[in-house]
Amino acid sequence: MIALRIFTGFLFFCSAIIAFVLAEANRTVLSWQDALGLILFFMINVVAETKPLKLPSSRSDSKAEITISGLSSYALLALFHPLHAALASAAAVATAQVFIEKKTPLKCVFNTCQSFITVAAASLAFHNITQLQLKSVIPPLVVGLACAITVYFIINTSLVSVGLALLANSSFFRTWASNFRWELIYIGGTIPLALLLIVAYQYLWIAGPLLFIAPLFLLREAYAQYVRLKTTYTETVRTLIKVIETHDTYTAGHSLRVAEYAKRIAVARKLSVKEVEKIEIAAYLHDLGKVDLAITHLVRKPGRLTAEEKRRVQLHPLVSADLAAQVTFFKGDIEDIIRHHHEHFNGTGYPHKLSGHAIPLGSRIILIADAFDAMTSNRMYRNALDLDNVRSEFIRFSGIQFDPELVPLLLEHCARDAAFVIPQVEIPYEEFLSAQITEPEAQSISA
Ligand SMILES: [Fe+2]
């Protein structure tokens, strides 16, 4: 929190310097028509700011939000002097956050300053580029707006990502990628709309933006539908995990730990955010087939299994994959990763005895994560192994059971010390049912 305070102070200082420099450079007097226009855009921004949407994210604790005020901000920065545009935008953010959303003073100052800096920089970019006599077939307005939106996107998402990363004590790049990567498509779609809004204001003055309010909010609704769909899908995953583990409190938390280990290994393997997300979801659901109570009892049974019992246990990856594939989102890659999570690198695993790189990479990662959790957890018939013994086991079975390229990744990059091991917590049945699966909520900073 102290780091965020220092960073917010820095943003405030930068905003003051920019405001001073722009005020010194601005010798034009604001006309009453422009003043009314600014007030109108200010009001649109206040309304839009108070209806933010949570961004879909691969992290369950992400609370980053996006608002449609970006669209009217683009028009604002193109139609008015950078100082006026930045002041109107910052005033709208401050009004919405202080009086309507009642956010903490730190968040209000952070968001107001980042909005001022973003709009001022983007507006300067727009006005400087449109004043250049570019020999381009593309109209200067389009070139200027595209550049301004690029500047806006880079500064806005970077400042918000720094704020979120400081709050959550996480990496800037991962915060950015997990919250904003897909937003590029969204802002690409807003360029034509921003152009129309600018032209409408130029021809119809304040009647132009007013005509735009309805489609603007329709756009917001379309986006809200997408976010709801993504949220439903995340909730489905969480519900399925609870289904797997409610009847076996002894292993409660196993899927969550395996998913976390698998994610860490996938990140260390430098896979894309999308790939990491698929592996994490597959890891959550890898033992879904254990909803069959008979399988769970056999897995926990001490001593050797009969051939028939063994065959029954070995069916669970197939059952898990088939059950997951009932949900369209999990069909395909996630389903395949789940199906092969017990295949061994040398081909002695199950259910299809695949070997080497014929086994999906996600399955090879989950096998390691699953084994790591099994070794570091207390079981009914033995206590958890210490990290030295876990290392020896992985080295012994590298190339036999485990992918020899992934084992060093686990041992050298991930499990370097005991802090990597997620504590095993046995939760009583009733408590588990009412427990929140997600980690504690991170505080939000609106984009
Ligand atoms: Fe399994």
Question: Which residues, other chains included, contact 356 with Cβ-Cβ below 8 Å and sequence gap of 6+?
Answer: 345, 347
pLDDT at 66: 53
Q: Which residues surround ligand 1, an ion (CB under 5 A)?
A: 287
Give distance in angstroms: CA of 60 to centre of ligand 1.
Answer: 23
pLDDT at 78: 92
- Average pLDDT for the chain: 82
Tally Cβ neighbours within 10 Å of residue 201: 22
Confidence of residue 443 (pLDDT cuts 50, 70, 90): very low
* Fold agreement between 2-232 and 253-425: no
Largest CA distance in the chain: 90
What is the rounded distance in angstroms from the CA atom of residue 233 to the CA atom of residue 258? 20
What is the rounded distance in angstroms from the CA atom of residue 176 to the CA atom of residue 31? 40
What is the rounded distance in angstroms from the CA atom of residue 66 to the CA atom of residue 104? 18
Report the Cα 305 to chain-centroid distance in Å: 43
pLDDT at 113: 95
Give distance in angstroms: CA of 285 to centre of ligand 1.
Answer: 9
Give distance in angstroms: CA of 324 to centre of ligand 1.
Answer: 14
* Per-residue model confidence as pLDDT tens digits over 59-81: 444 444 555 667 788 989 999 99
DSSP for 140-151? HHHHHHHHHHHH
Tally Cβ neighbours within 10 Å of residue 408: 13
* Per-residue model confidence as pLDDT tens digits over 163-201: 888 887 788 888 887 777 667 666 677 788 788 888 889
Of 58-67, 266-275, 392-401, least confident by mean pLDDT is: 58-67
User: Which structure tokens are listed for 433?
Assistant: 């049912």
Domain ranges of the chain: 2-232, 253-425
Domain 253-425 fold:
Hypothetical protein af1432 (1.10.3210)
Tell me what percent of the residues of the chain surpass a pLDDT of 90: 34
- State mean pLDDT over 394-409: 94
Of 423, 417, 420, 367, the residue nearest 388 (C-alpha): 417
Which of 142-146, 180-184, 438-442 shows the highest mean pLDDT?
142-146
pLDDT at 366: 96
- State mean pLDDT over 48-57: 62
User: Which structure tokens are listed for 290?
Assistant: 């254990």
Give distance in angstroms: CA of 257 to centre of ligand 1.
Answer: 13
What is the rounded distance in angstroms from the CA atom of residue 271 to the CA atom of residue 277? 10
Q: Classify strands 53-54 and 65-66 as parallel, antiparallel or unpaired.
A: antiparallel
pLDDT at 361: 97
What is the rounded distance in angstroms from the CA atom of residue 288 to the CA atom of residue 332? 16
Give distance in angstroms: CA of 399 to centre of ligand 1.
Answer: 20
Architecture of domain 2-232: Orthogonal Bundle (1.10)
- State mean pLDDT over 267-291: 88
Helix (H) or strand (E) holding 246: helix 207-246
Measured CA distances, 17 to 13, 172, 191 (Å): 6, 26, 30
pTM given for the model: 0.57
Give distance in angstroms: CA of 280 to centre of ligand 1.
Answer: 15
What is the rounded distance in angstroms from the CA atom of residue 437 to the CA atom of residue 322? 24
Tell me: pLDDT of 241 over 80: no
Give distance in angstroms: CA of 216 to centre of ligand 1.
Answer: 48
